[in-house]
Chains A and B, each alone.
Chain A
Amino acid sequence: GAVVSQHPSRVICKSGTSVKIECRSLDFQATTMFWYRQFPKKSLMLMATSNEGSKATYEQGVEKDKFLINHASLTLSTLTVTSAHPEDSSFYICSAGQGGDTGELFFGEGSRLTVL
């Protein structure tokens, strides 16, 4: 299957700083990428849909000024957690699809953010 790469896999930062997480589709072009957040032993919660060349669509309750999403190219989307606080500590996962009729989404390995 197609490969989606996330970087970094783990990041620790101080409260008040900003952290950027990258999501790349390595062998296919993705016009749409999705960002999820997952708490320990919980399900994946969709945060936003990232569209190449346009603004991201955020789910209800997700602060768009806190979680900045940029989809600058067909293979790269970034999530920036601005002014991070300990409650932003979580596992962030991106996914991307190849489009077409399959609907299949490929997920990155996730990025573990710890805010001290």
Chain B
Amino acid sequence: QQQVKQSPQSLIVQKGGISIINCAYENTAFDYFPWYQQFPGKGPALLIAIRPDVSEKKEGRFTISFNKSAKQFSLHIMDSQPGDSATYFCAASSLGGKLIFGQGTELSVKP
């Protein structure tokens, strides 16, 4: 019940395209859903996060869509750029609780 399932494992997108990564969770106590970006040899950096009281949040080219009833959330990267090539992790936690990570998606944006 603590798992967060992420897909796809890897993703190749052309420059200018839309990258979509999906996550699903089971624990209804989760109320914080962040996305992290990680470059090789670096720690993860917070990209964008959402709480279940909204269905969508947008920051620049990054959008989280949240479906509470389906217990799913996704990250959309618009106008994907080669510099976006990295590993992306979704995560979930309840307030003050442990952050549980998805399995990660390796995104490659081709020029």
> Residues of A at under 8 Å CB distance from B?
1, 4, 6, 32, 34, 41-44, 46, 49, 93, 95, 99, 101, 103-110, 112
Residues of B within 8 A of A41 (CB): 104, 106
Q: List 13 A-B contacts (CB under 8 A).
A: A1-B46, A4-B43, A41-B104, A41-B106, A43-B89, A43-B102, A103-B32, A103-B96, A105-B99, A107-B44, A109-B42, A110-B41, A110-B43
CB distance from A103 to the nearest CB of B (A): 4
Q: Are A46 and B98 CB-contacts (below 8 A) given A41-B106, A103-B93?
A: yes
Please, how many angstroms separate the alpha-carbon atoms of A110 and B36 in the complex?
A: 14
State which residues 3-49 of B face A: CB under 8 Å: 31-32, 34, 36, 41-46, 49
Which of chain B's residues have a CB closer than 8 A to the CB of A6?
Answer: 43
Of A41, A42, A44, which is in contact with the most chain B CB atoms at under 10 Å from its CB?
Answer: A44
Residues of B within 8 A of A107 (CB): 36, 43-46
Q: Taking the complex as formed, is B101 at the interface, i.e. its CB lies under 8 A from any CB of chain A?
A: yes
Residue of A nearest to B44 (CB): A107
In the complex, chain B residues whose CB is within 8 Å of the CB of A105: 34, 46, 99
* Residues in chain B within 8 A of chain A (CB atoms): 31-32, 34, 36, 41-46, 49, 89, 93, 95-96, 98-104, 106
CB distance B32 to A44 under 8 Å?
no
**B42 contact set on A, CB distance < 8 A:** 109-110
Apart from A43-B104, A93-B43, A107-B36, what 10 extra A-B contacts exist at CB < 8 Å? A4-B43, A34-B99, A43-B101, A43-B103, A93-B44, A103-B49, A103-B95, A104-B49, A105-B34, A105-B99
Chain A contacts of B41 at CB under 8 A?
110, 112
Contact B43 A109 (CB under 8 A): yes
Assess the B44–A44 pair: CB atoms within 8 A. Answer: yes
**Other-chain contact of B98, A4, A49, A101 (Cβ < 8 Å):** A49
Complex: chain A residue closest to B49, CB-CB: A104
CA of A32 to CA of B95, assembled, Å: 13
Chain B residues in 8 Å Cβ range of A34: 98-99
Closest to A42 in B: B104
